[in-house]
Amino acid sequence: MPFVGTFQQLCHNGQTFAIHLNVTREVGPLKVLVVGAGRMGSIRVEDLSSDPRVDEVLITNRSREKAEHLAAKFGAKVIDWAMATKTTADAVVVAVGTDAHEEILKPILARGLPVLCEKPISLDLASTEAAISLAKESGSQIQVGFQRRFDPSFREIKNQIDAGRLGTLYSMTMTAHDKTPSPREFIAGSGGIFRDLHVHDFDLIRWLTDSEVESVFATKAVRQHFDYADFDDADVSSVIVKTVSGVQVLVSGTRHDALGQDVRIEVFGSKNSVSAGLNSRTPLSTVENQLATNVDAYSGFVDRFREAFAQETQSFVSFIVGEIPNPCPPESALESLRIAIACEESVATNAAVKLLEVS
Residue 92: which CATH number? Answer: 3.40.50.720
Distance (Å, rounded) from C-alpha 297 to C-alpha 300?
Answer: 9
SS3 87: coil
pLDDT in tens, 300-346: 999 999 999 999 999 999 999 999 999 999 999 999 999 999 999 99
Residue at 201 is within a domain:
yes
Q: Please give the residue range of the domain that contains residue 119.
A: 2-148+310-334
pLDDT at 167: 98
Same domain, 174 and 138: no
Q: 229 in the Ramachandran plot: left (φ > 0), alpha (ψ -120 to 50) or beta? A: alpha
Q: 232 in the Ramachandran plot: left (φ > 0), alpha (ψ -120 to 50) or beta? A: left
| Mean pLDDT (the chain, rounded) | 92
CA distances 312 to 21, 70, 151, 318, Å, are 21, 20, 9, 10
- What element of type H or E holds 60? strand 54-60
Same domain, 249 and 321: no
Residue at 211 is within a domain:
yes
Distance (Å, rounded) from C-alpha 82 to C-alpha 336?
Answer: 32
Same domain, 136 and 228: no
pLDDT at 99: 86
Please name which of 267, 282, 276, 286 lies closest in space to residue 308, comparing C-alpha atoms. Answer: 276
pLDDT at 1: 33
pLDDT at 27: 57
Q: CATH number for the domain including 296? A: 3.30.360.10
pLDDT at 28: 65
Residue at 58 is within a domain:
yes
pLDDT at 12: 40
- What element of type H or E holds 189? helix 184-190
Same domain, 235 and 318: no
Same domain, 211 and 326: no
The pTM score is: 0.91
Same domain, 107 and 142: yes
Q: 108 in the Ramachandran plot: left (φ > 0), alpha (ψ -120 to 50) or beta? A: alpha
Same domain, 224 and 343: yes
pLDDT at 29: 79
Helix ranges (H only) for 11-77 are 39-49, 64-74
Give, for all 359 residues of the chain, the pLDDT tens digit: 333 333 333 344 344 333 333 333 455 679 999 999 999 999 999 999 999 999 999 999 999 999 999 999 999 999 999 999 999 999 999 999 888 999 999 999 999 999 999 999 999 999 999 999 999 999 999 999 999 999 999 999 999 999 999 999 999 999 999 999 999 999 999 999 999 999 999 999 999 999 999 999 999 999 999 999 999 999 999 999 999 999 999 999 999 999 999 999 999 999 999 999 999 999 999 999 999 999 999 999 999 999 999 999 999 999 999 999 999 999 999 999 999 999 999 999 999 999 999 98
pLDDT at 26: 55
| DSSP 8-class letter at 170 | E
Same domain, 265 and 324: no
Distance (Å, rounded) from C-alpha 276 to C-alpha 273?
Answer: 11
Same domain, 224 and 317: no
Same domain, 115 and 242: no
Same domain, 291 and 226: yes
Residue at 235 is within a domain:
yes
| DSSP 8-class letter at 257 | -
Distance (Å, rounded) from C-alpha 301 to C-alpha 159?
Answer: 24
Distance (Å, rounded) from C-alpha 188 to C-alpha 249?
Answer: 29
Same domain, 32 and 166: no
Question: Which residues have CB under 8 Å from 322's CB, separation 6+?
Answer: 3, 5, 21, 23, 25, 27
Please name which of 146, 149, 96, 104 lies closest in space to residue 127, comparing C-alpha atoms. Answer: 104
Question: Which residues have CB under 8 Å from 101's CB, separation 6+?
Answer: 94, 117, 120, 121, 122, 131
**Domain count along the chain:** 2
Residue at 305 is within a domain:
no
